[in-house]
Amino acid sequence: MSNFEYLLSPIDRIKGVGKKTLRSFNKKKIFTIFDLLWHLPVSKIETAEDTEIEDLQIGKNYNLKVKPIKYNFPRIRNLPNKVICEKNGERIDCIFFNSYEGYIRKLLPLNEETIISGKANNFRNKFQFVNPRLVKSNNSVLIDDENKYSLTEGLTLNKYNQIINSVFQNLPDLDEWLPKEISNLFDNVSWKECVIKIHKEEITKVKDTKYFRRLVFDEIFANFLLSSDIRSKIKKIKKKNKTLDTKYQNKIINNLKFKLTDDQISALKNINKDMESKQKMFRLLQGDVGSGKTIVAVISALNAIRAGYQVAIMAPTEILAIQHYKFILENFKDFCSPEILTGKIEYKKRKKILNDLLKNKINILIGTHSLFQEKITYFNLGLIIIDEQHKFGVNQRKKLSDKGGKDCDVLVMSATPIPRTMMMTIYGDMDISLIKTKPKNRQPTKTYSKNETKINEVINFIKAEISKDNQVFWVCPLIKESKKMDHQSTTEKYKYLSKIFKDKVDIIHGAMGKEEKDNVLNKFNDRNIDILVSTTVIEVGIDFPNANVIVIENSNKYGLSQLHQLRGRVGRGNKESTCILMFKTGLSENARKRITILKNSNDGFKIAEEDLKIRGYGDILGFKQSGLKKYNLADPIQHEDLFKVAEKEIKKIEKKNIKIKNFNKLIKLYDKVAVINDTI
């Protein structure tokens, strides 16, 4: 086994790691020796946000500084142990299942300030962490003059240090992979030297040193190299170039009821150039909510159809797929033959759709992920359009691109603005077209905040808006009342509003069936109802130009970018629009900050930057990015300069056609699922 292979070998290769110890390591997601090296002393606590208990959001992970004030050890078998903790007068319970009393007393000594890590839950209207992880403490469990690590039950600190020291003794001297001018930035310190150094000191003492920063750069650089390799592999795929009809496109544009913005026209030119080339298009169309991405994508689809190809449009939800289908059918039926395919379509109709697709009777198919099942065969698929694709990571996008065949171009859209430092991390494998300007007929949405005690003022405002023939979204977090959380539910709010506005109110939420949702949305679209009470099911893509007011309950419980997405459901027509952020008394500092930012800006890209600063990298943009690379050390805010250096270096490598395989060892270390075909 080579020195390099040692780093990627299973953790139980180390002497002293038996089955029991292996299980303990695996609980902490440590499977290889390399994984172990990134389980650092005190677990990066210096980057943790000092969150207030009242500002916690259910289901999200936090590092929290607390003081344990009381134990509750039930004498009844199988009941969990509890430690009541306090922070600035607020209470949170730490619940432990299958844990010994002595272990908990050592882990969380009373009246000693401790930093714990866990997922926020809520039980009987109180926040709690279940089986939290200790991040940092001053208690005697952490042995003096030893490395200090957060541990899981069954793994003692002495044992852990014995294992990590064994790894240090066998740590290989690897050939330098950084270019000389980059290595000079870190005084030419070696990778091995850096790894040992950051384990011998608490991170708070080494995070600004050349040792730590060199490893941060390695991590960023490896990610960028992987994206660059995928991008270059896609560009090497030779396809049949599409012959586009400019006069035909102009006819479509001239038939529109509005004028395209300069950004939309520029994006179309980029897409057309890609489709006309012999290189496969792999492009992101990125724009703020309401910037007009959909019309650009549809015109591109019609261009591909005119050139003799079929188009598949994949939406993240059935509601959005139906909306795209109706939009194309109502506005462009003279230019194409559209059809919709979702998982709920009955067998007989589905069979006909598949048959028509194979015979080219359908040239544009809209649906959800079901569009790419193995049984679906296209006559001549030439363009895949993926809407709201943030759930797809680099490797998923690569697989999807491969599925379309070598002559198939790929265009993905996202209404979620990404901070500049994150663009290369998330979309480094793609070419990017940005739409920043919004259509001239759209006015900025005015945003106000209101304490829930002022509900009568909001109701009076709604009455005035309805009298002007306007419509309203009213968003609540839950479907039914919950004993765990005090958020106002959709059902209760629906009952409340129905007493005031009678039969002009209806409700929609994710638990409803397709037919129910369709009926409600059609009623709203036909203006048979004035107010639509909803969960965040309307967050993405719902487009009703006559709706120009949105009320968001418990706005302090949402992330900035999610609030911006919700606000984007109004202001899609030419009327002035309003967003009202409702909140409860006693806002935390961060919640107040989020609301203030939203009131002062309609710029999604600026809001995304602020979201990153407030919430940190851990849950960027208010949604779980399944495809987003999770860094161990790098942080887009703290290490912005290193992100820029890495991006500059990647462009230099691409310009000089330097082979990515020269960096294979670096990539393999930092990305286990790297799609690098060359053997190391």
Quick check: is 663 in a domain? no
Q: Is the pLDDT of residue 616 over 50?
A: yes
Q: Is the pLDDT of residue 242 over 60?
A: yes
Quick check: is 146 in a domain? no
Which CA distances in Å does 587 have to 126, 131, 421, 451, 474?
Answer: 17, 28, 30, 10, 21
Helices 589-600 and 604-615: crossing angle in degrees, nearest 10, is 170
**Residue 539: predicted pLDDT:** 53
**Residue 540: predicted pLDDT:** 56
**Residue 46: predicted pLDDT:** 38
3-class state of residue 527 by DSSP: coil
288 and 389 assigned to the same domain: yes
- Position with higher pLDDT, 366 vs 487: 366
353 and 492 assigned to the same domain: no
DSSP3 helix / strand / coil % (the chain, rounded to 5): 45, 15, 40
The β-bridge partners of 410 are 282, 384
270 and 400 assigned to the same domain: yes
- What confidence tens digit (pLDDT) does each residue in 323-362 have? 889 889 988 988 999 999 987 788 889 899 999 998 999 9
Domain with residue 54: its CATH number is 2.40.50.140
Residue 674 pLDDT level (bands cut at 50, 70, 90): very low
**Residue 253: predicted pLDDT:** 92
Could you give the percent of the chain with pLDDT greater than 90? 26
Q: Is the pLDDT of residue 442 over 50?
A: yes
Domain end marker among 435, 464, 480:
435
Quick check: is 572 in a domain? yes
Residue 658 pLDDT level (bands cut at 50, 70, 90): confident
Domain with residue 511: its CATH number is 3.40.50.300
Quick check: is 392 in a domain? yes
Could you give the percent of the chain with pLDDT greater than 70? 83
Q: Is the pLDDT of residue 576 over 90?
A: no
Placement of tokens 């069954």 in the chain? 154
Q: Is the pLDDT of residue 679 over 90?
A: no
Q: What is the mean pLDDT of residues 379-406?
A: 70
Kindly report the length of the chain: 680
65 and 99 assigned to the same domain: yes
Domain end marker among 601, 635, 664:
601
Q: Is the pLDDT of residue 233 over 70?
A: yes
Q: How many domains does the chain have?
A: 4
Domain end marker among 584, 601, 618:
601
CA angle 247, 249, 250 (to 5 degrees): 65
Q: Is the pLDDT of residue 43 over 70?
A: no
Residue 204 pLDDT level (bands cut at 50, 70, 90): low
**Residue 152: predicted pLDDT:** 62
415 and 533 assigned to the same domain: no
450 and 577 assigned to the same domain: yes
Most confident among 215-229, 260-274, 287-301, 607-621 (mean pLDDT): 260-274
- What confidence tens digit (pLDDT) does each residue in 528-539 have? 999 999 887 665
9 and 60 assigned to the same domain: no
428 and 493 assigned to the same domain: no
34 and 71 assigned to the same domain: no
Quick check: is 164 in a domain? yes
338 and 251 assigned to the same domain: yes
504 touches 466 (CB < 8 A): yes
429 and 537 assigned to the same domain: no
409 and 452 assigned to the same domain: no
Quick check: is 636 in a domain? no
Q: Two tokens at 13?
A: 């290769």
Q: Is the pLDDT of residue 552 over 50?
A: yes
Quick check: is 362 in a domain? yes
Q: What is the mean pLDDT of residues 481-504?
A: 74
Q: Quick one: 521 exposed, middle or buried, by C-beta within 10 A (0-12, 13-18, 19+)?
A: buried
Q: What is the mean pLDDT of residues 554-576?
A: 81
Q: Two tokens at 108?
A: 């969380």
**Residue 447: predicted pLDDT:** 93
Quick check: is 218 in a domain? no
Range of the domain at 479: 446-601
561 touches 622 (CB < 8 A): yes
642 touches 618 (CB < 8 A): no
pTM of this structure:
0.66
